[in-house]
């Protein structure tokens, strides 16, 4: 029976990915480990196949793009669609291909990434989200794979490449914009609060209200990720109350569109009854009615910069630990009015 890479890994007491990278003479593997693995290969009579030997001189020129776990709703979010488009454009310019990694569960997503990594199908990965206690990041970090993140890392911030906006400042700017329009009863409606971007924008919202000496009311902070019937009931109760909010900071354009529709069903209109400011300035922001005032996070620039820096990392022209914080700006449209 032919000796396999798994046999070598077991005998040497290392992961199969370590054997693979030893074959590639990859810089991430220490010389001591390479020597040990090569001795085992010689002892067992293991000979890398032609594909593996070819990897020593060339990479797959493919970037794996990791989407958050979902049942398909991620492909309905304009932020992710525009990010994928931007990454694809930047990769094309660098003569790299793009492969998507997705899954309906964390285990399914992790399996997809492992298959890509161990099969040499991707030279590096871009993670399009950041959340707490993420098994995907733990795997990428433990395996010493080349990866970058769009967003602020929850962990390993000083050991990885990431490109982001200052989302705390953006959240603060959004709330301050409404305060300047004389709104004092401002709600915050977010998506998944396990996602760092949602939480960071909420922190900024809280800071703005606190500095304006306004109470941060817990019942003014909602999430649209709860069961739909319960979410509708909570929105209805909040906005039909006597001291209802007159304005909303929505964590992204999709959340803003959803809550705008719900307000309409209970007889409230935007911006006459409720002003809304959101984030991402996606294509939907200007197409919806009324057009959304939204904070532009420069998705095209985010996506191009993360590709450029990751490829520099892959091609060993960039050190590992690096972060880029990009600016944002408020794009004023029709969804906000002064009191």
Pairing outcome for strands 62-66 and 293-296: unpaired
From CA 69, how far away is CA 129, in angstroms rounded?
A: 10
Percent of the chain with pLDDT over 70: 95
Q: How confident is the model at residue 50 (pLDDT cuts 50, 70, 90)?
A: very low
Kind and range of the H or E run holding 87: helix 78-93
**CATH topology (fold) of 62-165+299-328:** Rossmann fold (3.40.50)
Percent of the chain with pLDDT over 90: 69
**CATH architecture of the domain formed by 167-297:** 3-Layer(aba) Sandwich (3.40)
Q: What is the mean pLDDT of residues 329-336?
A: 98
CA distances from 64 to 2, 90, 128, 140, 185 (A): 31, 13, 11, 12, 43
From CA 290, how far away is CA 296, in angstroms rounded?
A: 17
Report pTM: 0.79
Residue 105 has a pLDDT of 94
Q: How confident is the model at residue 232 (pLDDT cuts 50, 70, 90)?
A: very high
pLDDT tops 80 at residue 319:
no
Nearest Cα residue to 21 out of 123, 161, 136 = 123
pLDDT digits (tens, 9 = 90+) for 30-42: 888 989 989 998 8
pLDDT tops 70 at residue 225:
yes
Strand partners, 229: none
pLDDT tops 50 at residue 52:
no
Q: Higher model confidence: residue 51 or residue 163?
A: 163
**CATH topology (fold) of 5-54:** 434 Repressor (Amino-terminal Domain) (1.10.260)
pLDDT tops 60 at residue 53:
no
Mean pLDDT across the chain, nearest whole number? Answer: 91
- The ranges of the chain annotated as CATH 1.10.260.40 are 5-54
Q: How confident is the model at residue 15 (pLDDT cuts 50, 70, 90)?
A: confident
pLDDT tops 60 at residue 51:
no
Q: Higher model confidence: residue 90 or residue 20?
A: 90
Q: What is residue 134's DSSP assignment?
A: -
From CA 179, how far away is CA 247, in angstroms rounded?
A: 9
Least confident of 47-61, 190-204, 246-260: 47-61
CB of 5 closer than 8 Å to CB of 16: yes
pLDDT digits (tens, 9 = 90+) for 69-85: 988 888 888 889 999 99
Q: Is the peptide bond before 288 cis (omega within 30 degrees of 0)?
A: no
- The ranges of the chain annotated as CATH 3.40.50.2300 are 62-165+299-328, 167-297
Residue 192 has a pLDDT of 85
Q: How confident is the model at residue 90 (pLDDT cuts 50, 70, 90)?
A: very high
Q: How many CB atoms lie within 10 A of CB 67?
A: 20
């Amino acid at each position: 029976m032919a000796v396999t890479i798994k046999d070598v890994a077991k005998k040497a007491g290392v992961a199969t990915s370590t054997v693979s990278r030893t074959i590639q003479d990859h810089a991430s593997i220490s010389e001591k480990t390479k020597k040990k693995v090569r001795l085992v290969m010689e002892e067992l009579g293991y000979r890398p196949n032609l594909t593996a030997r070819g990897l020593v001189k060339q990479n797959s020129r493919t970037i794996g793009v990791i989407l958050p776990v979902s049942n398909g709703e991620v492909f309905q979010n304009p932020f992710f669609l525009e990010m994928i488009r931007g990454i694809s454009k930047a990769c094309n310019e660098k003569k790299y291909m793009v492969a998507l990694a997705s899954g309906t569960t964390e285990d399914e997503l992790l399996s997809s990434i492992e298959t890509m990594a161990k099969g040499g199908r991707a030279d590096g990965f871009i993670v399009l989200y950041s959340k707490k206690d993420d098994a995907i990041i733990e795997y990428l970090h433990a395996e010493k794979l080349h990866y970058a993140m769009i967003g602020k890392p929850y962990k390993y911030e000083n050991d990885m490449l990431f490109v982001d906006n200052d989302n705390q400042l953006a959240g603060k700017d959004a709330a301050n914009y409404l305060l300047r329009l004389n709104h004092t009863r401002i709600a915050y409606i977010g998506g998944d609060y396990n996602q760092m971007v949602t939480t960071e924008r909420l922190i900024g919202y809280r800071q703005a209200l606190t500095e304006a000496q306004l109470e941060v009311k817990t019942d003014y902070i909602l999430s649209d990720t709860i069961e739909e019937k319960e979410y509708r009931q909570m929105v209805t109760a909040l906005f039909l109350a006597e001291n209802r909010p007159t304005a909303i900071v929505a964590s992204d354009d999709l959340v803003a569109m959803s809550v705008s529709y719900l307000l309409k069903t209970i007889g409230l209109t935007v911006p006459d009854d409720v002003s809304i400011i959101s984030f991402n300035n996606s294509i939907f922001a200007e197409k919806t009615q009324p057009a959304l005032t939204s904070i532009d996070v420069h998705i095209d620039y985010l996506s191009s910069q993360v590709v450029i820096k990751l490829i520099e990392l892959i091609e060993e022209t960039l050190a590992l630990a690096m972060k880029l914080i990009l600016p944002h700006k408020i794009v004023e449209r029709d969804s906000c009015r002064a009191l």
